[in-house]
Amino acid sequence: MTPDPALLSDLRAALGPDAVLVSPEACAPFECDALNTQRHRPDVVALPRSPEQVMAVLRACSRHATPVVARGAGTGLSGGALPVAGGVLLVLARLNRVLEVDPARRLARVEPGVTNLEISAAAAPHGLYYAPDPSSQVACTIGGNVAENSGGVHCLKHGLTVHNLLELRVATIDGEWLTLGSAAGEAPGLSLLALLTGSEGMLGVVVEATVRLKPLPERVELLMAAFGDVRSCADAVGRIIASGIVPAGLEMMDAPAIRAAEAFVRCGYPTDAAALLLCELDGLEQDVLHDLQAVESLLRECGATTLRVATDATERLRMWSGRKSAFPAVGRLAPDYFCMDGTIPRRHLADVLERIDEMSRAAGLPVANVFHAGDGNLHPLILFDAGQPGEVERAEHLGAEILELCVAVGGTVTGEHGVGVEKLGPMCTQFGADELEAFHGVKRAFDPDGLLNPGKAVPTLARCADYGAMRVHGGKLPFAHLPRF
Amino acid sequence: MDHDGTDELVAQVREATARRTPLRIVGGDTKWFFGRAVAGAPLSTRGHRGILRHDPAELVLTARAGTPLAEIEARLAGCNQRLPFEPPHFGADATIGGTVASGLAGPARAWAGPLRDFVLGARVLSGDGRVLRFGGEVMKNVAGYDVARLMAGSLGILGVLLDVSLKVLPVPPGERTLSLDVDEATALGRLAEIARGALPLSAGSWIDGRVYLRFEGSDATLDDVQARVGGEVVADSRGFWAGLREQTHPFFTGTSPLWRCIVPPLAPPLSLDGAPLVEWNGLQRWYRCAPGVSAFEAAAAVGGHATLFRHGTDAPEVFAPLAAPLLRLHRALKLEFDPAGILNPGRMYADL
C-alpha cells in the first residue's frame, strides 16, 4: 500500500527525512519480531529520537487516521510488534539514553529503547541491579518489557516488570502526556501504571520509565538436582515452597531438554535423568546457607538421584548455561519449533506434564519441556518440520490443545510472552464474551479510534466464534474430564 | 457462615442500574472515613463470604470479598504465611474486599511493595451487572489487560469485588525492632541509607525523636543486624507496629484533620506545621493539620502527593487533584465499567 503523502510529509517535517523509511529494502528488516512465522513489511517506519518526536508521530497518525505499531528491539515472541497493513511502524530504538541512575534513591530513569541489561550495567558500579531478567535481556528494551510485563528466571522472588516500575511517562494517541505512578511508587487515582504494564502497546506509548533498583545479593548459591521421574521432581518444587523458602529461581527441565542442552553446551547435566531442577538461593550469607541445607535435605527426601551445589561463580554460570541455552539446544533437534507459554497452578505440574506427553505421542510430534517451575510457567517446545505437508497445522493444533489444558486446570494461555497475534485464538478459550468486551472497553477509553496496534492482544467476538467452531468438535468441550475452576 | 452471594449482589446492582439509584458498597464499614462521602443505598458484601482456596505450596489465597480479613490472616498464620503488605484493619469487621478496594498497606509497604503487587486475580461485578473474571491464581499471567490490579485501590468506582486471589508469602522465622534517638532530618537520611543496603529491613519509622527499625529473619541474622545497626531492642515489636498500622498510636487520636503525604525517597521535611509521624522509610509521612489547611501543595512541592485521610469527609476533595488528561481517562474508564454511574459515585473524586 502506498503511504498517504500528507502523512509522510508531516512525519518528515517532524523527524527529518532520514528518520522516515519507506523503501521496501529499508523497511524489510522490520517485517516481523521474534515470532517470525508472521511477517508483514511495513509501509512506513518512523525512527524518532526524542519523546517530542514520538508525540509528533502519534499526532500525525491520529490526524490522518493511520494505525501505528510501537516496536522496541523486536525480540517479542508473540507478534506484538508485527506491522499492520497501511500503518506506521514506530521504532523506539533511538530513544536509548539512561537519563539518570540515582543510587541514593535506588532508582533509574531511562528511555524506552534502553536494553534491560544496560540498566543493570549502569547500576552495577553502585552495587545495584534491575531485577527482571527475561532471557533476551541483552537485546530486549525496557519499553518492550513494560508492554509485555516481562518476567524472567528470578521473578518468583524478585517480581515481574510491574513490580519493579515506579513511574511511566506515556504519550497517548490523543496527543496528551500522562505521568503514571511516581518515584514514591504510589499516585492518586486508579492504578493506571499497572493497567498500562502488559498492555502490548494498545493503550499508549512509553517514552520514559523510572525503575526500582535492588541491592546485589550478599550471597548466591545454585543447586542442581536430578530425578529418575518427572513426578518426584514436580513434587519437590511444591515441597520447597511449602517449607517457607522462596528461591530466587526454580527451573525445571525434562529428559529431552536435558539431553539437548548437554549435547549443545556440555554443562555437566546427567543425561540419564528424567527431570532436572535448578534452585538458586540469594540473600544474606547466613540465611542462604541455612536455606541451602534445608533445600538439600528436602530434595533428598523427594528422591533426588544426583545433588550438586555449584562451588564457585564459574560453576554456577556453567550450570545455568544449559538452562539458558535450552531453546536453541532443543532447536537443533528439528527444523522448527513452537514455544508455548502457559502458566498453571504448581500443584498440577506432574499431571499436566504427563498429559502433554500423551498429547505429544498422539500428535506424533516430540515436545521438550523447559520451564519456570517456581512460577508454574511452562514452556513446552513443540518440534516439527514446516517442510512436511500438514506439520505446521498439527503443531499449531497441539499447541492450542496444550494451552486449553492450562486454562482447564486454572491457568492462563500466556505467562510472560504476551498474546500479540499468536494467541488471539487461545484467548477465546480463557475469556468469555463479557470479559473480552470489557477489554475492548478499556481500549476505547484510551484509544477510541483503535489506532494503536490494532488487532492485537484482544480477539474480536467474531474471531472467537470462528475459533470456537474450529476447536469444539462434536459439541464436546476439550478436556471435559478435568475439573474446571 | 460461608455463602456465595453472587446472585443477590447481581440482582441488587441490576436493579440499581435500571432505576439509576446510586449504591454505597460496604464490607465491614471499617474504612468509611477514607475517601469522599457517598450518598447512596448501602450494598453489603458481608453475605458473600468464605475462603475458596488456599494451598500453602501455591502461595495463593482466593476468597470472597465479604470474608473477614481476620479470618484470612488466621488461616494464613496457621500455615506460617501472611499477606505481605500488612494491611490495616481499622476495626474487627474489616473484609478482604474492602482491603483490596482501599488499596491500603501497613508498615511493611516499603519492604514488600504495595497491595496491588499481590493481586493475582479478581471476579468483579460491573455497574451494568456483568460478572467478569480477570487474572487468575497463577504468579505470571499476561493474558488480557491487568484489570485485576486496576481494582486495587479503585474504591469501588469501577465494580463490586466478588472474589480476589492474592499472592501470599511465608513468615520469616523472627522479627526484631531496634530504636535509636535522632532528629527528623537525620532519621530520614538514616532510614534511606539502611533501606539501600541488603539488610532485611521490613519497616522503618520515625516518631517523637526516635527512629524505629524492624528487621526480619533468623535469630542469627537478627543478631548480626543488631551488631551492625546498634540501638535498643523494642520489647513489644508486634504491638508497636500494630499501633502504627491500626492508628491506635496516640499520634492518631483527636479529631484534627489527618493528612497522609507520600513522597519520593530522601524528600526533605515538608513545609507543614507540627512534627510528622514518618513511616515506610520516609516515603509516608502523617501530619495533623489545622482545619482548613491543605497539604496538597506542600506534598506536591517535593514531588509527592497528599491525601486528607481522616476527619475531612466534608472537604471538597480528599485526594490530590489529577492532571486533566488523567482525569479524562478516569471518566472514560468509569463509563465503560459503570455506565449508569451508580457505584460509589464521588468516593474518589467529585464527578467519578
**Contact between chains at B114 and A185 (C-beta distance less than 8 A):** yes
> Do A181 and A209 belong to one domain?
yes
**Contact between chains at A286 and B221 (C-beta distance less than 8 A):** yes
> Do A67 and A27 belong to one domain?
yes
> Do A318 and A338 belong to one domain?
no
* CATH number of the domain where residue A449 is located: 3.30.70.2740
Q: How many helices (H) and strands (E) would you count in chain A?
A: 17, 18
**Contact between chains at B329 and A174 (C-beta distance less than 8 A):** no
How are the residues of chain B apportioned to helix, strand and coil, as percentages rounded to the nearest 5? 30, 25, 45
Q: Quick one: what percent of chain A has pLDDT higher than 90?
A: 88
Model confidence at A469: pLDDT above 80? no
pLDDT of residue B314: 75
Q: Is residue A238 part of a domain?
A: yes
Torsion over CA: B181, B184, B186, B190 (sign): positive
Q: How do residues A299-330 score in pLDDT, each as one tens digit?
A: 999 999 999 999 999 999 999 999 988 888 99
Q: How do residues B166-204 score in pLDDT, each as one tens digit?
A: 999 999 999 999 999 988 888 888 888 887 777 899 999
* CATH number of the domain where residue A197 is located: 3.30.465.10
Mean predicted confidence (pLDDT) in A118-128? 97
Q: Which of A172, A444, A458 sits opposite B325 (nearest CB)?
A: A172
**Contact between chains at B200 and A284 (C-beta distance less than 8 A):** yes
B127 at A interface, C-beta within 8 A:
no
Model confidence at A76: pLDDT above 70? yes
pLDDT of residue B222: 94
What sections of chain B are H helices per DSSP?
Answer: 6-19, 69-78, 96-102, 109-112, 147-151, 184-196, 219-229, 237-245, 296-301, 324-337
Taking a contact as any Cβ pair under 8 Å apart, which residues of chain A between 330 and 389 contact chain B?
A: 343-347, 372, 374-377
> Do A190 and A303 belong to one domain?
no
Q: Which of A163, A410, A417 sits opposite B136 (nearest CB)?
A: A410
Structural domains of chain A, count: 4
Mean predicted confidence (pLDDT) in A232-239? 95
A107 at B interface, C-beta within 8 A:
yes
Split chain B (352 residues) into runs of 10 and give each run's mean pLDDT: 96 97 98 95 98 94 98 98 98 98 97 96 97 95 97 98 97 95 86 82 94 93 92 96 98 96 94 95 96 95 97 87 97 98 97 90
H-run or E-run covering B207 = strand B201-207
Say which residue the cell 508497636 belongs to. B240
Taking a contact as any Cβ pair under 8 Å apart, which residues of chain B between 203 and 242 contact chain A?
A: 217-218, 220-221, 224
pLDDT of residue B189: 85
- More confident call, A482 vs B102: B102
* CATH number of the domain where residue A255 is located: 3.30.70.2190
Q: Which three cell numbers stand for residue B119?
A: 493481586
> Do A20 and A122 belong to one domain?
no
**Contact between chains at B130 and A287 (C-beta distance less than 8 A):** no
Q: How far, rounded to the nearest angstrom, does the alpha carbon of residue A136 sit from its chain's CA centroid?
A: 9
Q: Which three cell numbers stand for residue A262?
A: 548437554
Model confidence at A475: pLDDT above 70? no
Q: Is residue A387 part of a domain?
A: yes
Contacts of A403 in chain B (CB under 8 A): none
Short-list A104, A219, A150, A100, CA closest to A372: A150
CATH of domain B6-170: 3.30.465.10
Alpha-carbon span A117 to A132, nearest angstrom: 10
> Do A325 and A339 belong to one domain?
no
Q: How many helices (H) and strands (E) would you count in chain B?
A: 10, 17
Cα first-last separation, chain A: 47
pLDDT of residue A480: 41
Q: What pTM value is reported for the model?
A: 0.95
Strand, helix or coil for residue A246:
coil
Model confidence at A482: pLDDT above 60? no
Q: Which of B140, B171, B322 sits opposite A415 (nearest CB)?
A: B140
pLDDT of residue B313: 63
> Do A53 and A108 belong to one domain?
no
Contacts of A197 in chain B (CB under 8 A): 146
Mean predicted confidence (pLDDT) in A437-464? 96
Alpha-carbon span B159 to B333, nearest angstrom: 11
**Contact between chains at B55 and A347 (C-beta distance less than 8 A):** yes
A132 at B interface, C-beta within 8 A:
no
Q: Which of B131, B144, B335 sits opposite A458 (nearest CB)?
A: B144
pLDDT of residue A473: 40
> Do A71 and A154 belong to one domain?
no
Mean predicted confidence (pLDDT) in A49-66? 98
Q: How do residues A211-230 score in pLDDT, each as one tens digit?
A: 999 999 999 999 999 999 99
Q: Which three cell numbers stand for residue B254?
A: 483527636
> Do A346 and A283 belong to one domain?
no
Contacts of A104 in chain B (CB under 8 A): 192, 196, 265-266
Q: Where exactly are the structural domains of chain B?
A: 6-170, 174-310
Q: Note down the domain range covering A125.
A: 98-215
Alpha-carbon span B316 to B39, nearest angstrom: 14
A94 at B interface, C-beta within 8 A:
no
> Do A350 and A467 belong to one domain?
yes
pLDDT of residue A327: 87
> Do A12 and A71 belong to one domain?
yes
For residues A371 and A155, the answer to whether their CB atoms sit within 8 Å is no
Q: How do residues A342-399 score in pLDDT, each as one tens digit?
A: 999 999 999 999 999 999 999 999 999 999 999 999 999 999 999 999 999 999 999 9
* CATH number of the domain where residue A82 is located: 3.30.43.10
Alpha-carbon span A243 to A297, nearest angstrom: 12
pLDDT of residue B186: 87
pLDDT of residue B312: 83
Average pLDDT of chain A is 93
Residue A476 C-alpha, separation from nearest chain B C-alpha, in angstroms: 23
Q: Is residue A482 part of a domain?
A: no
For residue B15, give Cα distances in angstroms to A424, B11, B21, B127: 35, 6, 8, 10
> Do A301 and A355 belong to one domain?
no
Contacts of B350 in chain A (CB under 8 A): none
Residue B37 C-alpha, separation from nearest chain A C-alpha, in angstroms: 16
**Contact between chains at A238 and B57 (C-beta distance less than 8 A):** yes
B165 at A interface, C-beta within 8 A:
no
Q: Is residue A355 part of a domain?
A: yes
pLDDT of residue B16: 98
A242 at B interface, C-beta within 8 A:
yes
Say which residue the cell 528439528 belongs to. A334
